[in-house]
Amino acid sequence: MVLGQTLAQTTMKAVIILSAGHGKRMKSALPKVLHKVAGKPMLQWVLDAVKTLKVDQVIVVTSPELEHHEILKNTDVVVQEFPLGTGDALKLGVQKLNSNIDKLFLLCADTPLLNPQDLKNLEHSKADLTVVGMQLDDLNKSYGRIECNSQCNPVAIRETKHNENVKNISLGNAGVYAFKVEMLKELLPHLEINSESREIYATDLVELAVKQKYTTELVIADEENFLGVNTLVELSQAENIMQHRIKTQHMLNGVHFLLPDTSYINYDAEIGAGTIIEQSVHIGKNVHIAQNVKILGFSYLSNCTVENAASIGPFAHLRGNVVVEEHPSKGNFVEVKGSTISKNAKAKHLSYIGDAIVGEGANIGAGTITCNYNGFEKFKTHIGKNVMIGANSTLVAPIMINDGAYIAAGSVITEDVGPDNLAISRTQQQEKNAWALSFRAKYSKK
């Protein structure tokens, strides 16, 4: 009996995320919800926030082009063939709801900044229909506006594009709602097509609910957390806010940004305490930086691991599975791709190091290039411990420069070099005595 009562009281919850529609205002071929903020698609931000809610089902309503996208692999997917509005998308999503679901949260996939705590507050709402509202500082914003009764409970949501006057209402609609499913199933068939846009609006449910004497409730949230991205301008605003959040977290963990506003940090960057990041640095996808590293100005890193106390840049480019071990320094205009730079190795100026292993203590002279690609295949360069590569050398891969070898400056090296040997591959220098005197004399007679 006691067990039976407990089961009956358990509320089964689901989330529907709306991610279909053209995203026409983005003026981009990429579906709106795949546009990235700090390197993560907007839809993925919303899916990740939803993980913090304890729900029994997650449904994504999406356009046909995203139906089989891997981002949706752990969700129930419903395809909305034509973008007939948020109300139409919601109707389709509800058809996929498991029969035991009592409470439904509706979210939009174009709000990448949403805060899991706000969603938790929504979880505790008691009314039949709860709307998340935000106090707008700028009344020109295009968000729908929430009309409330004297008890501050929502009675309608009006879209500004149909009536400029509603812009005087400062309570904006975040596009996030909680519904009791029983009520929703009763109201949905009554949603009508908007005569101007020819779309069905989920927002019209509020007015319908009030007419049918259902209870409504307002949950107030911070506008920043529900910034709706409909244009590339709003995408850049979301990026700025997310970057600020990400860098604040790193700074609190002991990372020193010289000019934080000038650097880009991907959402997944790991950066150890004591690391200094100078101005205008790009830390892209899959970057792991250990402690006490220096990333000097204007460096660009992606897919790389930088171990303790390394110094990178200024103007360095690391990409494609690069590992930089402890204490090396890599500097001005050095590009490294798919390579390991071992402890205490140096490459300080103007080099391309691709598909190479650079041994401990090796020194790569200015202007050294690894020729790793023949137009069809990539080849490896192995540079042993304590090797000295003279300036302006060309290493044609596949090639092995063994430990302790020297490469004379300006050489083109096409064959392996033995340990501690010197390889020179350049034309012998000639000197012609007093040549310049006779050359100048010839011209002075004219």
Cβ closest to ligand UD1, residue 89 vs residue 358: 89
Choices 68-76, 78-86, 208-216, 388-396; region in contact with ligand UD1 by CB under 6 A:
78-86
Strand partners, 145: 158, 172
Cα distance between residue 330 and residue 227, in whole Å: 40
Given 69, 282, 288, 349, which residue is catalytic?
Answer: 349
Query: DSSP labels for 65-99?
Result: GGTT-GGGTTSEEEE-SS---HHHHHHHHHHTS-T
Asked if omega into 64 is within 30° of 0 (cis), the reply is no
Q: Give which of Mg ion, ligand UD1, none residue 202 binds (C-beta under 5 to 8 Å, depending on kind).
A: ligand UD1
Contact (CB, 8 A) for 240 and 112: no
Which residues have CB under 8 Å from 239's CB, separation 6+?
Answer: 37, 38
Contact (CB, 8 A) for 22 and 11: no
DSSP category for residue 429: P
Choices 116-124, 172-180, 258-266, 403-411; region in contact with ligand UD1 by CB under 6 A:
172-180
Choices 166-174, 329-337, 419-427, 431-439; region in contact with ligand UD1 by CB under 6 A:
166-174
Q: Is 228 in the site for ligand UD1 (CB under 6 A)?
A: yes
Choices 90-98, 198-206, 221-229, 356-364; region in contact with Mg ion by CB under 5 A:
221-229
- To the query of whether residue 382 is one of the catalytic residues in this protein, the response is no
Q: Give which of Mg ion, ligand UD1, none residue 97 binds (C-beta under 5 to 8 Å, depending on kind).
A: none
Q: Which of 47, 72, 75, 85 binds ligand UD1 (CB under 6 A)?
A: 85
| Least distance from ligand UD1 to the Cβ atom of residue 145, Å | 8
Cα distance between residue 270 and residue 264, in whole Å: 13
In this structure, the strands spanning 13-18 and 36-37 are unpaired
Q: Which of residues 187-226 bind ligand UD1 (CB under 6 A)?
A: 201-203
Cα distance between residue 321 and residue 332, in whole Å: 20
Q: Which of residues 119-158 bind ligand UD1 (CB under 6 A)?
A: 143-144, 157
Contact (CB, 8 A) for 250 and 265: yes
Q: Which of 28, 83, 224, 274 binds ligand UD1 (CB under 6 A)?
A: 83
Q: Give which of ligand UD1, Mg ion, none residue 361 binds (C-beta under 5 to 8 Å, depending on kind).
A: none
Please choose, from the candidates 176, 175, 135, the residue with its C-alpha nearest in 3D space to the C-alpha of residue 152: 135
Q: Which residues bind ligand UD1 (CB under 6 A)?
A: 18-21, 33, 61, 80, 83-86, 88-89, 108-111, 143-144, 157, 159, 172-175, 201-203, 228, 230
Q: Which residues bind Mg ion (CB under 5 A)?
A: 110, 228, 230
> What are the catalytic residues?
349
